[in-house]
């Protein structure tokens, strides 16, 4: 899941696995695999970075606490 912001500033959590495309027109439009479109204020680069970070965290799996 990634956090983005609607145009009114409210926060929205999106399932990153459902994102099909992200485009700037000039607002950022996220198109989901369901066909739903979300208009957000976050720039495309931030949305992409959030998705990459999410996917990386999933690939690495759970972390063990640091040993003291």
| pTM for the model | 0.84
Determine how β-strand 28-32 pairs with β-strand 37-40. antiparallel
What number of other Cβ atoms are within 10 A of residue 47's Cβ?
A: 21
Task: Look up residue 33 and give its two tokens.
Answer: 């695999």
| Length, in residues, of the chain | 68
Instruction: List the chain domain ranges.
Output: 18-59
Nearest to 16 by CA among 28, 33, 2, 26: 2
Separation CA 61–CA 16 (nearest Å): 16
- Reported as a single tens digit per residue, the pLDDT across 11-68 is 999 999 999 999 999 899 999 999 999 999 999 999 999 999 999 998 887 776 665 4
């Amino acid at each position: 899941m990634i956090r983005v912001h609607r145009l009114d500033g409210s926060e929205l959590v999106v399932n990153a696995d459902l994102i099909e495309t992200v485009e700037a027109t000039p607002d950022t439009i996220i198109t989901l695999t369901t066909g739903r479109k979300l208009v957000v204020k976050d720039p495309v680069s931030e949305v992409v970075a959030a998705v990459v970070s999410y996917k990386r965290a999933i690939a690495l799996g759970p972390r063990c606490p640091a040993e003291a």
